[in-house]
Chains A and B, each alone.
Chain A
């Protein structure tokens, strides 16, 4: 890469792209492990219980938040990409759609905060 570096990546569209890719990569690494653990329910229940005991640890709970975050980010990233590429939006429509998504996310978060 050339000396000046590429600072031209610092914009929302590129960040959305990289978030989608990295979350996908994270899930791809995690899922085989996840399915293997689930398979223990059939092959080795005692070992599964051992793994389930881990979920009481705070750090593991935090990591689970991370996984749910990855899943959510990846799903919305994919929906965003499909909507953007397969529907002939005009720029104002894109802005409106992004605004509506942000607003509904805000309201959903408010409800969540109230529940907690």
Chain B
């Protein structure tokens, strides 16, 4: 173990923060630090992770006020004066310590009609998809979302409006709207043009700035704004 120690502040409630001295290592991630605290300093610390390689989207936390995947964030990137502050994701109810309740996030995913609207059965032949078509390119741009809620935590509109569906759910709605295999056009446009829908977005762009997968929910939401407006002027056609 190196002599070098890091000062790690962990937010464990609105007014409660614990400070830990954690030994520094090379190529250490924020998740490594949280795990070290739980395994060596305070076994009561609750946090959530699974894959540790940026695939599952369960370890997102606020690191120095910025939502990040802790497993893919090196300490060297976030340390300020040898210290870091780690808190639970913003805009979601805290269950305990660094664990948030993701239910509102996933409920909105469904609320935005982020579900498959199929029309074929397993007996039908598989429909051919043209990978180069404009709509498929648009859909492909957003399908790598892994529901980590980093964009949702970054968004000030979500913070100010509890009904707002949020960047991830709206991006999925945009993806499905452009998916030739999805038949939910009317349902999706209805869902995203309501009071919590895409027109709440102020294009602050924090979703796009902080998406760890380099996705662009802000542009997807702009697409929904155009489609819902077109649909309105064509009276639903």
Residue B172 lies at the interface, judged by CB distance under 8 Å to chain A? no
- Distance of A89 Cα from B154 Cα, bound (Å): 23
Chain B contacts of A81 at CB under 8 A? 203
Residue B116 lies at the interface, judged by CB distance under 8 Å to chain A? no
Chain B contacts of A11 at CB under 8 A? 205-206, 209
Residue A13 lies at the interface, judged by CB distance under 8 Å to chain B? yes
- Distance of A86 Cα from B225 Cα, bound (Å): 8
Distance of A28 from chain B, by nearest CB (Å) = 17
Q: Once the chains bind, are B62 and A2 in contact (CB under 8 Å)?
A: yes
Q: Is the interface of B mostly helix, strand, loop or mixed?
A: mixed
Distance of A22 from chain B, by nearest CB (Å) = 13
Q: Once the chains bind, are B206 and A9 in contact (CB under 8 Å)?
A: yes
Residue B11 lies at the interface, judged by CB distance under 8 Å to chain A? yes
| Most chain B CB neighbours (cut-off 10 Å) among A4, A9, A81, A88 | A4
Q: Once the chains bind, are B14 and A2 in contact (CB under 8 Å)?
A: yes
Q: Once the chains bind, are B65 and A7 in contact (CB under 8 Å)?
A: yes
Q: Once the chains bind, are A13 and B206 in contact (CB under 8 Å)?
A: yes
Selected from A5, A8, A88, A91, the residue in CB contact (under 8 A) with B223 is A88
Interface readout for B178-216 with A: 1 if CB under 8 Å, 0 if not? 000000000000000000000000111110111000001
- Distance of A93 Cα from B17 Cα, bound (Å): 45
Residue B57 lies at the interface, judged by CB distance under 8 Å to chain A? no
Chain B contacts of A84 at CB under 8 A? 203, 222
Distance of A32 from chain B, by nearest CB (Å) = 25
Q: Once the chains bind, are B203 and A86 in contact (CB under 8 Å)?
A: no
| Most chain B CB neighbours (cut-off 10 Å) among A17, A81, A85 | A85
Interface readout for B14-39 with A: 1 if CB under 8 Å, 0 if not? 11010000000000000000000000
**With A8-B65, A84-B222, A85-B222 in contact, do A2 and B205 touch (Cβ < 8 Å)?**
no
26 cross-chain CB contacts under 8 A: A2-B11, A2-B14, A2-B90, A4-B62, A4-B64, A4-B85, A4-B86, A4-B87, A6-B156, A8-B65, A8-B154, A8-B206, A8-B209, A8-B210, A9-B206, A13-B208, A14-B156, A14-B204, A14-B205, A14-B209, A17-B203, A17-B205, A84-B203, A85-B225, A86-B225, A88-B226
Residues on A close to B: CB < 8 A?
Answer: 2-9, 11-14, 17, 81, 84-86, 88-89, 91
